[in-house]
Amino acid sequence: DTAVSQTPKYLVTQMGNDKSIKCEQNLGHDTMYWYKQDSKKFLKIMFSYNNKELIINETVPNRFSPKSPDKAHLNLHINSLELGDSAVYFCASSSRLAGDQETQYFGPGTRLLVL
Amino acid sequence: GQSLEQPSEVTAVEGAIVQINCTYQTSGFYGLSWYQQHDGGAPTFLSYNALDGLEETGRFSSFLSRSDSYGYLLLQELQMKDSASYFCAVRVQGGKLIFGQGTELSVKP
């Protein structure tokens, strides 16, 4: 009954590699987000999609490319990984249609370690 | 620019009341949210204030003063399980949330 799920939960990889993180929500929400949380716990929005359309695109290196195949899925692909990409990446979702976009539901996070 | 200020850490004892303050300076403001995050866990929604005043949900209450760009989260009857990080977040245009740095609350027996 997981509301927002992410895979993988842990990801350890070498610098220069390309990796993807997947997110799925079964809440029927129309808006999904990617956040990055650094080692100091600072949580920063990266991207947001509403009905598969990109609506928020923060100042993020273009090595990061989100993709939303449908409303329930939002994936994040990262090219040429760097040490500074090590962080926890959270997916979240909310509903604009229900008028409750203030409540964002977060996935369990993907802990990425770049060596 | 966008900035939110909240204390980095707060310590209190079980059964006590603690207040976590948040001041913000953002371009555009729709409301102030609070999220709780336990170590190793995901942020979970606690409350949202769009209008001035106090919102109460069980042991937790949240307050907002838009004219002062200030809000707080009040936790009553503290329990050990309340030990966590608490984040204030401002909702700006486009549904974007700008998060504060978080306040680490330690509840002691």
Task: Report, as an integer, the average pLDDT of B65-90.
Answer: 97
What residues of chain B, 51 to 90, have a C-beta less than 8 Å from chain A? 85, 87
Binary contact (A102, B87; C-beta < 8 A): no
Q: What is the mean pLDDT of residues B76-85?
A: 98
Mean pLDDT confidence for B55-81: 96
Q: Tell whether A72 lies on the interface with B, counting CB pairs under 8 A.
A: no
| Pair of tokens at residue B103 | 């306040």
* pLDDT beneath 50, residues of chain A: none
Which chain A residues are within 8 Å of B94, Cβ to Cβ?
A: 48, 55-56
Confidence (pLDDT) at A59: 79
- Distance between CA A104 and CA A87 in Å, rounded? 20
A5 in contact with chain B, both atoms CB, cutoff 8 A? no
Strands A10-13 and A110-114: parallel
- Neighboring chain B residues of A43 at a CB cutoff of 8 Å: 43, 87, 99, 102
Task: Tell me the chain B residues in contact with residue A31 when contact means C-beta distances shorter than 8 Å.
Answer: 95
* Interface membership of A40 toward B (CB under 8 Å): yes
Residue A108 is predicted with a pLDDT of 97
Token pair listed for B8: 């980095």
Give the per-residue pLDDT at A95: 87
Distances (CA, A) of A13 to A23, A30, A111, A112, B100: 19, 32, 11, 8, 30
Distance CA B73, CA B60 (A): 7
Structure confidence by residue, pLDDT tens digits, A34-52: 999 999 999 999 999 988 8
Rounded to whole angstroms, how far apart are CA atoms B25 and B42?
26
Question: CB distance A48–B95 less than 8 Å?
Answer: yes
Select the residue of B42, B96, B99 nearest A48 (Cβ to Cβ).
B96
**Contact in structure between B98 and B22 (CB atoms under 8 Å):** no
Inter-chain CB pairs, A–B, below 8 Å: 49
Contacts of B41 in chain A (CB under 8 A): 108
B29/A contact by beta carbon, under 8 A: no
pLDDT band with cut points at 50, 70 and 90 for residue B94:
confident
More confident: B96 or B74: B74
pLDDT of residue A1: 67
| Tens-digit pLDDT profile for residues B17-67 | 999 999 999 888 999 999 999 999 999 999 999 999 999 989 999 999 999
Give me the pLDDT at residue B87, please: 98
For chain B, the first-to-last Cα distance in angstroms comes to 41
The count of residues in chain A is 115
List CB contacts (< 8 A) between A90 and chain B.
42-43
Looking only at the bridges linking them, the beta strands covering A73-78 and A87-95 are unpaired
Q: Whole-angstrom Cα distance, residue B52 to residue B64?
A: 5
pLDDT at A88: 98
Query: Can you give the pLDDT at residue B28?
Result: 85
